[in-house]
Amino acid sequence: MATIALAGNPNSGKTTVFNILTGSSQRVGNWPGVTVDRKSGTYKKEKVTTIQDLPGIYSLSPYTPEEIVSRDYLINDNPDAVLNIVDATNLERNLYLTLQILETDVPVVIGLNMMDALKRENREIDIEKLSYGLGVKVAPMTATKGKGVFQALELAKKEKQSEDKLTYDARLETSLAEIDEILGDAIPLRARKWYSIKVFEGDKEIWESLKLSNSQEKEIKEIISITEKIFQEDAESIIINERYALIGQLVHLAVTDSSGSDIRFNMS
Ligand code: GDP
Ligand code: K
Ligand code: MG
C-alpha cells in the first residue's frame, strides 16, 4: 500500500488532478475552500495506491482550518510522497508552500501545472533548472487536458528520497542545527528541520506540544536571540526573508519572461 498526497495552493488544480487519477468527479472550481477536509481515492491504474487530496493552502502555519488539516496530515500521517501541484503562472507564490513542504523531509515531486496558461502568457520555465535548484523532480502538466498527470504520479510513486535538500543562509543553518541538537529526542526522526524552524520562529503550538525542560528552553532562546542580533531582524522575519531569497534565486534561474511585463517580482 502506498499513499500519495496532493498538496498545493488553492486553485492550483489539485482536484482536477485527483479526479483524473481516481476517475472520480469531485467538484472542481475556481474559488478557494472547495476541499476543507481531505478526500481520498484509489489510483485507478493500481488499486494498492491511495491518492489524498489535501485542502488548498499558502502556508503550513496553523491559522486556518485548511492549514491545520494539511499540516497535521503532512507531519503526522507519513504519506509515501507528496505530489505538490504548483500553478506555473504563479510560481513565486506557490514556491513559498513548496519550500515549507520540503522542510518536512517528505519525498516530494512537483507537478508544474497550468503549462497551457503559462505558454499563453509568453512565459517559460526551464524544468531542468527548476528541478536542479529545488533538488526535486519537476513534471510539467496541463491537468485540464489530462497532459502529464499520470507521468507526475508515477514519478511521485518512485520518489523515496527524503533527506534535507534545502539550504538557507549558513548562519541560519548553524542556528537550526544547534536547535535540532538541543531538541534531541523531543522531536521525531522525520521532519526535524521543520520542527527546528517552527521552534526558531517561536510557533506557540509547537513549543507547548514539545514539553521542553527549563534548560532546553533557555538554551534555545539564547540561540534565537543571538541569531536575531546577527541578522538584525526578528526570528519570524529571518525565516520569511530566507525563503523569499531562495525563491528569488530559483525564479531568476528558471523563468524566462517574454510577456513584455516590467513586473518580475510581486512577493507581497
Ligand atoms: P484546486 O483548488 O487546487 O483543487 O484546483 P481545481 O482543480 O479546483 O482547479 C481550479 C481551476 O483551475 C479550475 O477552474 C480548473 O478548471 C482550472 N485548471 C486546473 N488545471 C488547469 C490547467 O492545467 N490549465 C488551466 N488553464 N486551468 C486549469
Ligand atoms: K478550487
Ligand atoms: Mg480542490
pLDDT digits over 8-51, tens only? 999 999 999 999 999 987 777 666 655 567 789 999 999 999 99
DSSP H or E stretch at residue 256: strand 255-257
- Strands (E) located in 114-218: 123-125, 137-140
In the predicted structure, residue 249 carries a pLDDT above the cut 90: yes
Half-sphere exposure of 205 (CA within 13 A, CB side): 7
- Whether ligand 1 lies within 6 angstroms of the CB of 112 is answered as no
C-alpha dihedral over 133, 137, 141, 143, to 10 degrees? Answer: -120
Q: Is this prediction's ipTM beyond 0.90?
A: yes
- Weakest-pLDDT range from 71-75, 90-94, 243-247: 71-75
Is the separation of the CB atoms in 136 and 112 below 8 Å?
no
- Whether ligand 1 lies within 6 angstroms of the CB of 30 is answered as yes
Looking up cell 475552500 gives 33
* Ligand 1 atom nearest to CA at 145: 23
Distance CA(69)–CA(91), nearest Å, equals 23
- Whether ligand 1 lies within 6 angstroms of the CB of 28 is answered as yes
Residue 258 is predicted with a pLDDT of 80
